[in-house]
Amino acid sequence: MDIQTFVFFFLSAILVFASLRVITARNPVHAALHLILAFFTCGGIWALLQAEFLAIAIILVYVGAVMVLFLFVVMMLDINMDRIREGFWSYLPLGAILGLLMVMEMGLVLGSKYFQVPAAEAMVPAGVSNTKSIGALMFTDFVYPFELASLVLLVGMIAAIVLTHRGSKKSKYTNPNQQVFVKAKDRIRVLQMPVEKD
């Protein structure tokens, strides 16, 4: 077994374990942490495939930003696990069908390459920058889907703000401009007092 195969199986084992723990961990924070571990190892596997841009992007975006906010929310929520588990059996059939569908899809994708390390097939010739090729493709051949995706993201962002915005609250607000332009003589009055003598 060469070193690449070993690294692949090592990372895959961690990935599978972490993904399992995401759905089995009782503590939601532990589940979120295992999800982070899963993303990180996924980045490792992509790096093994020589998809360095994707590998770094998943760590930068998912591990570095999305999961931080996710963890943030999970930590502050008071999650009652018993109440979440209540509907388990009634949701099971639907969940099982979805799960089976996903397994089938993944099986089709992996297909004949089962248990082969794909890195050997996806060899990138030396001197080709992954990031540059992706960038060039994104802004030439796939510019419309790319712009469309960014528009969808923008709509999602605005929708999230609209959903959570509950109208302006009456809060004590200080105007930073006024704060910056404050002069000492606006705030302090120096009094001249005659010396008091008895």
CB of 94 to another protein, least distance (A): 33
* Residue 85 vs residues 73, 78, 80, 81: alpha-carbon distances, Å: 20, 15, 9, 6
Q: Which two tokens stand for residue 97?
A: 């069908």
Residue 73 corresponds to which amino acid? V
* Residue 70 touches another protein, criterion: CB under 8 A: no
Residue in this structure with the two tokens 């401009």, named with its chain if needed? 177
Contact assessment for residue 11 and residue 19, using Cβ atoms and an 8 Å cutoff:
no
Q: Does 65 bind another protein (CB under 8 A)?
A: yes
Closest approach, Cβ 168 to another protein, in A, equals 16
Of residues 173-192, those binding another protein (CB under 8 A):
176
The answer to whether residues 39 and 67 touch, using CB atoms and an 8 Å cutoff, is yes
- 31 forms part of the interface with another protein (CB under 8 A): no
- Taking CB under 8 A as the criterion, the residue among 15, 18, 33, 51 binding another protein is 33
CA-CA distance, 95 to 91, in Å (whole number)? 6
Name the minimum Å distance from CB 56 to another protein.
Answer: 5
Q: Does 116 bind another protein (CB under 8 A)?
A: no
Site of interaction with another protein (CB under 8 A): 29, 33, 36, 40, 52-53, 56-57, 59-60, 63-65, 68-69, 71-72, 75-76, 129-131, 176
